[in-house]
Amino acid sequence: MEPQLLHSVTDAVATVVIHHPAKRNAMTAGMWAALPPLLDELAAEESVRALVLTGEGATFCAGADISTLRGADGSPADAQDLAVQAEEALAHFPKPTLAAIRGYCVGGGAQLAGACDLRFCEEGAQFGVTPAKLGIVYPASSTARLVSLVGPAAAKYLLFSGELIDSARALRTGLADEVLAAGELDKRVAEFTRTLVSRSLLTQSAAKEFAAGRLDRADYWSAQAHRAPEAAEGIGAFLERRAPRFTWTAPA
C-alpha cells in the first residue's frame, strides 16, 4: 500500500492513521499536503465529535520522509511549509484531538503530536525534536507551540540537542498527558474518547479557542451559550441523575 493517511469514523470518533510502515510512518510531501483537506472534511461532519491521530503498527511517526521533501534547489523550505500548514490545520481542528503514540514520535511526528490537544502514549515511546540534526530552522509557530507545552528550558533541551527522551520524561515535561502500560493504549484511548464525546462540544470548542488565546471570540461564545440548550440539558440531567444528551453543533 502506498504511503497515505487512512481514516475512519466510529461512535462519533474520527481516527486518522499515518500509514507508511516501510519508513516507520514517516510523512511524505503528499501526506503533509493531504492532511488539511482531510481535517476540513472531518470537521464538517456533524457526527464527528473528537479525533484521534495515530500511526500504523508500533510507531507513531518517525518524522518526515526526507527523500520526498527536497525542493528543486535541494532545500527543505517548501516541505517545511507543507508541514506547518498541516500542523496548523490540526491545531485549529474545532473539536478535541488526541494523539495516540507508540514507538517513535520524532521530528515531524512530534510536530503533529504537539498540535493535538492531548497526547497519550505507551511506555517505551520515544520523543524527539530533531531539526538541529539536519541544520533546519524550526518554524517559529512550531517553536512557540512546543514552548507552550513544555516550557522554555525543556524546549531548548529538545531543540538544541535533537536528543530523544523517553515516555517518563515526556510525561514530566508535559509533552505527554498519560503513559500507559504495553497493550493498554487502545483501551484507554477508547475509554477516554467515549468520555469526550459524551461531554458538551459547545464547552469544548469554546475552551479550545480560549486556551489558544482567542479572547476576541468571547462574545461569540456567550451568544452561542445563550442560544443553545446545553446548560439546561446539563443541569436537568444532573438533577434527574441521568446522562446528559448534548446536541450543540457548530453553525454552518
252 residues of the chain, pLDDT tens digit each: 789 999 999 999 999 999 999 999 999 999 999 999 999 999 999 999 999 999 999 999 999 887 766 654 445 567 788 999 999 999 999 999 999 999 999 999 999 999 999 999 999 999 999 999 989 899 999 999 999 999 999 999 999 999 999 999 999 999 999 999 999 999 999 999 999 999 999 999 999 999 999 999 999 999 999 999 999 999 999 999 999 999 999 887
What pLDDT shows up at residue 76? 57
Instruction: State the distance between the two ends of the chain, measured CA to CA, in whole angstroms.
Output: 36
* The residue to which cell 472534511 is assigned: 41
Quote the CA–CA distance of 12 and 48 in Å, as a whole number: 5
Query: Strands 126-128, 104-106: parallel, antiparallel or unpaired by DSSP?
Result: parallel
Contact assessment for residue 47 and residue 9, using Cβ atoms and an 8 Å cutoff = yes
Alpha carbon distances (Å) from 7 to 48, 212, 230, 252: 12, 26, 30, 23
215: burial class by Cβ within 10 Å (0-12, 13-18, 19+)?
Answer: exposed
CB 133 within 8 A of CB 113: no
Is residue 61 within 8 A of residue 106, CB to CB? The reply is yes
Decide if 217 contacts 193 (C-beta within 8 A): no
- What is the three-state SS of 4-70? EEEEEEECCEEEEEEECHHHCCCECHHHHHHHHHHHHHHHHCCCCCEEEEEECCCCCECCECHHHCC
For strands 104-106 and 118-122, give the pairing. unpaired
132 and 160 in contact (C-beta within 8 Å)? yes
Query: Taking the alpha carbons of 140, 151, 119, 172 in that order, is the dihedral positive or negative?
Result: positive
CB 84 within 8 A of CB 131: no
Rounded CA-CA distance 217/225 in Å is 12
- C-alpha cell belonging to residue 166: 523517553
Nearest 5°: phi and psi at 75?
Answer: -95, 155
Q: What is the pLDDT, as a whole number, of residue 65?
A: 83
pLDDT for the residue numbered 184: 98
Cell 503528499 belongs to which residue?
30
How far, in Å, CA of 98 to CA of 37, rounded?
Answer: 18
For the entire predicted model, the pTM comes to 0.93
Write down the pLDDT at residue 60. 98
- The pLDDT of residue 67: 73
Q: What is the pLDDT of residue 75?
A: 54
What's the confidence (pLDDT) of residue 196?
Answer: 97
For residue 243, give the DSSP letter: -
Residue 251: predicted pLDDT = 86
Q: Which residues are bridge partners to 27 per DSSP?
A: 64
Q: Is 61 helix (H, G, I), strand (E, B) or coil?
A: strand
The confidence score (pLDDT) of residue 66 equals 74
Cβ neighbours of residue 232 under 8 Å, at least 6 residues apart? none
